[in-house]
Structure 1
Amino acid sequence: MLGLDLFYLLLGLFLLYAGVVNLRQRRYAHGAFWTLVAGLIAGGNAVLRANAAGDPLPAQCAGAAIIALALLAPRMRREHLAEAPEAQRRASAARLGHRLFGPALMIPVITVLVVLFGEKLQWQGHRLFGDGSITLIGLAFASVLSALAALRVTREKPVMALAEGRRLLDTMGWAAMLPLVLAALGGVFAASGVGEAVASLVAAVIPADNALACVLAYGLGMVVFTVIMGNAFAAFPVMTAGIGLPLLIHQHGANPAILGALGMLTGYCGTLLTPMAANFNLVPAALLELDDPNGVIRAQVPTALPLMLVNLLLMYWLVFAF
């Protein structure tokens, strides 16, 4: 049975590989950083089980590891990592052509299929996919299959997947952890009552009995919070707890599934506009060696603003129509 424990273990082993390689190359900050992350991810379920049993020690160890990560991150220098010569890479791209897109497209396709049908699949009377978020299980399963397909298409050895994955990870550096950290930050904000504070402020500023005003407050709030915190994952629990649930869903009867989907998509418009989303907007500028560090953001503005407007219109129409 395929469960999250297995995929967390695989991810932890890959991060441990990245840490060991960096340590061998005397990139000690990188090595220590990825080794600590490997321990946190691979041992995360053990921490949760220990907390359920009333033992706070593993959680304290995890907190100490996170503080260590914060101290190590500024020491992670972005350096050029060895890769295949440009002529070889161009020749490989010309030989493989559009087949290169196949493994990448497998990830969303397989993830959706697992979400739709995974809970019904069985093998000899046992469920094929275990307990936990079926979406996360599907994404992890799709990523593993995609990596195997990429090896098949390129006819490379499995060690190449590890080497190139580690190279990309080190190229991004600590910014690769931002989506995970910001998602956790959003959960902390929601648990600490920020959502309720937002709800009281919004109710004092806008007419809560006006559905259009609530939709605009929710959608624009998602964009603003995303710009501030750098990721829609952090903004979503705050704005949903503050405006989405009490005002739109409970008071005005909005469809929660449609509201959540369009709310996240609207928040992503803010991701396109902020340097706080360093892994999306600043790291690519550095990798491409752009003269303007905000060049990626400037190129995305003509897409972000019209998309935000369209999302707001769709949200107001669809959440109350279904």
Structure 2
Amino acid sequence: MITLSWLYAFAGLIFAAYAVLSARDRTNGKRFGNAAFWALLALSFLGGDRLGDLGNGLLLLCLVGLAGFGALGRGLPRTTGPEEREALSARHGNRLFLPALVIPASTLAGTLLLKDSGLFDPKQVTLLSLGMGVVIALIVACIWLRPPPLAALEEGRRLMDSIGWAAILPQMLAALGAVFALAGVGEVVGGLAGRILPDGNLFAAVAIYALGMALFTIVMGNAFAAFPVMTAAVGLPILIRGHGGDPAVVAAIGMLSGFCGTLMTPMAANFNIVPVALLELGNRNAVIKAQLGTALPLLAANLLLIYLLAFR
């Protein structure tokens, strides 16, 4: 049976290839820093379960050190040139998006058809189908477009180098949310909220919850990491138990309030930094600036919706 460890191994091998290619890239003045960074990340995927807590902690500190001391740079991978890309674009047009569409199609088909097949772990069938979709899409693109042999790996490395250390922010921030919850940050925030909230002031409690969800998401970059902290601090003890709020409304719209914070933070790298790298925009915060006009009014609307709908 194919389990999640297969997917980890696949990702680890990809990062190991990035490390080797980075070490050979003489156009990058910091090539050995890049090689070390991607090699450590490959090690975490390939053998993280064997390293133990201490080993993984030291590995993480090494990654942070490489990023923090500016050891990462950008090279010029040898892939298709601008003229060849323009020619392919003119020849194939929007059909170039077909390999990308193979990925969600394969993920959906695998999730629906392979859950009870005995081939994939039924608990992880969606993630495994996603990995399968990536492999199928790569095969389709290579057979159809016939790029240079290492084009896929070189282009993947180019993109990862463009994003840099922010590529691993989602994993680190998800772990941070778990650490905050275990450390009792929610209880501390709840104690502070209890001291500053006027007795019986429902609107103030709702405002602290909604704004707190957005602010913690801005700090953590992940609304799912902010949710257990703010729900344990304000949502459950004050809004639901204290004021009799509807748990479904409080939790659902509270999460939407957190997503407003996602629109306003560079910590949400996969949403706000990756597009900048993909589009090669000059301003690193261009996506965030474009989203502020949506995020702030939506946050205010979510606050009012919790207040009006959860306590009827």
TM-score range, shorter chain: 0.7 to 0.9
Residues 291 and 23 from structure 1, CA distance in 2 versus in 1: closer, same or farther, beyond 3 angstroms? closer
Q: How many angstroms does 1:43 deviate by?
A: 1.6
The within-5 A match list for 1:189-204 is: 189-204=180-195
Q: C-alpha root-mean-square deviation of aligned residues, in Å?
A: 3.5
2:90 alignment partner in structure 1: 94
1:16 alignment partner in structure 2: 16
Whole-angstrom distance in 2 between the partners of 1:170 and 1:69? 14
More off after superposition, 156-165 vs 283-292: 283-292
Q: How many angstroms does 1:83 deviate by?
A: 4.1
1:230 equivalent among 221, 232, 237: 221
Residues 18 and 192 from structure 1, CA distance in 2 versus in 1: closer, same or farther, beyond 3 angstroms? same
Q: How many angstroms does 1:105 deviate by?
A: 4.1
- Asked if 1 retains the 8 angstrom alpha-carbon contact of 2:66 and 2:72, the reply is yes
The answer to whether 1:38 aligns with 2:42 is yes
Whole-angstrom distance in 2 between the partners of 1:142 and 1:312? 39
- 2:39 counterpart letter in structure 1: T
Whole-angstrom distance in 1 between the partners of 2:90 and 2:78? 21
2:234 alignment partner in structure 1: 243
Q: How many angstroms does 1:192 deviate by?
A: 0.5
The TM-score with structure 1 as length reference comes to 0.77
Q: How many angstroms does 1:139 deviate by?
A: 3.9
- Asked if 2 retains the 8 angstrom alpha-carbon contact of 1:208 and 1:247, the reply is no
The within-5 A match list for 1:5-154 is: 5-25=5-25, 27-47=31-51, 58-73=52-67, 74-108=70-104, 110-111=106-107, 117=112, 121-123=115-117, 126=118, 128-130=119-121, 132-133=123-124, 135-151=126-142, 154=145
Q: How many angstroms does 1:122 deviate by?
A: 2.6
More off after superposition, 305-314 vs 220-229: 305-314
Whole-angstrom distance in 1 between the partners of 2:296 and 2:285? 17
Whole-angstrom distance in 1 between the partners of 2:48 and 2:200? 43
- Asked if 1 retains the 8 angstrom alpha-carbon contact of 2:115 and 2:121, the reply is no
Percent identity (aligned): 47
Residues 134 and 212 from structure 1, CA distance in 2 versus in 1: closer, same or farther, beyond 3 angstroms? farther
Paired residue secondary structure (1:77): coil
1:167 equivalent among 153, 158, 163: 158
Paired residue secondary structure (1:76): coil
- Asked if 1 retains the 8 angstrom alpha-carbon contact of 2:163 and 2:277, the reply is no
Paired residue secondary structure (1:40): helix
Structure 1 gaps, min length 5: 48-57
Whole-angstrom distance in 1 between the partners of 2:76 and 2:95? 28
Q: How many angstroms does 1:247 deviate by?
A: 4.5
The TM-score with structure 2 as length reference comes to 0.79
